[in-house]
Structure 1
Amino acid sequence: EYVPATAIQHQNWRLKHITFKDDAALRHWMMTSDRTAQTAPVLLVFEDMEEGSQTPSGARRTLTLVPAGFGLSDEKVSIQAISAGLGPVTFEGRWTAEGRALQGDLKIGTQSFENITLNTKTGSR
């Protein structure tokens, strides 16, 4: 998981993290038509910051986007998704510090966030 170094929020939705799963999940996703949040090798997860939007357990509601497309290489990351509530969501970035961080541009609907940093999640949060 890669979490934003600073808060990135569009309307009431804040980017919680971007998750990258292992190579086996990537191969499975590419070879089958199984396109769910349980199997997708890349996920964009947002949390609802609106007052009173918590679940019965007290956790914030989340919105998980399964990409319509993505590209991953040793140098670059490209993710394209779409949400009925957020509109098109894209991330174009690059790995830094030996994969321990991502830097790039995130666009949610018509709002752009340039040169953002996402750090590898460590410990509990």
Structure 2
Amino acid sequence: MLLMQHGMVYEGDSGYPLEPFLLTPFLNPGTRGEERYNRSHKQTRVIVEQTFGILKSRFRCLHSSGGSLQYHPRKCAKIAAACMLLHNRCVRRRILVPELLEDREELEDRIDEPQGAHGNHVKRVRAEIVENYFA
């Protein structure tokens, strides 16, 4: 399967187009499998958003109220990776997370289905994932 040829699949919310490297939710799920896929997709997204919230609370440089990382993208990635490593160390040492910051960028719970350049092919791949794992 094209999406999993490298052992990973990226998930995007409904604001992103369906692409060969990016799975998005169904606009109008028509089967139980598609509904289960959307539910699983949403649960995963919530966990990721909560994790980002925790990281932003612990490391203000990652939160918009603490400024922004105005560096080359590679350096930003290194800073984010360092924050994640330090966070894992804090978890192991049971160091509490500062009060969670409210993220002003509330995500809407809408599901629309923008189309990427690969349209129907990627829809078939996503349908195959639903059939194999959620039906």
What TM-score comes out, normalization by structure 1 length? 0.22
Which structure is higher in helix share?
2
What TM-score comes out, normalization by structure 2 length? 0.20
**Bigger Rg, structure 1 or 2:** 2
